[in-house]
Amino acid sequence: MKKIRATATSVIGFFINPPGAHTTKGGIIMLDDDGKTEGIKTRFFRIHSVGEKSVVAKDVKEGDIVAVPHGRWSRGIDIDHPEGKKLYALDAKDILGIYEGDESEIA
């Protein structure tokens, strides 16, 4: 995997609940509803890196799961992740909060 860290004012993370069809832990297939009214929902990201001068640097740390409004992220950056994950640039002002629940409950 390529080693990438956030620049001074940026925040980057991995999508936890990306748009598209997926299967839940219990085996239920969730169809892709992205782009429809019912598909507009909060998205969650696991923080990979936070720039030291980012406005959220005192609150958000590497490994935190943050809530971001639907559509508030950039295109993914291919980093040769072993699981095929991509990094996404997040706008610090769009981070709604830090999720403290069980990651497996995020749909």
15-70 residue pLDDT tens:
887 666 656 667 766 655 555 555 567 889 999 999 999 999 999 999 999 999 87
Residue-wise pLDDT for 58-101, tens only, equals 999 999 999 998 776 677 788 888 888 888 999 899 999 999 98
At 13 the pLDDT is 93
Contact by Cβ (8 Å): 98, 65 = yes
At 85 the pLDDT is 83
At 37 the pLDDT is 54
The pTM score is 0.77
Residues with Cβ within 8 Å of 36's Cβ and at least 6 positions away in sequence, in order, are: none
C-alpha atoms less than 13 angstroms from C-alpha of 38 in its C-beta half-sphere = 4
Query: What span, in angstroms and rounded, lies between the C-alpha atoms of 21 and 106?
Result: 14
At 103 the pLDDT is 86
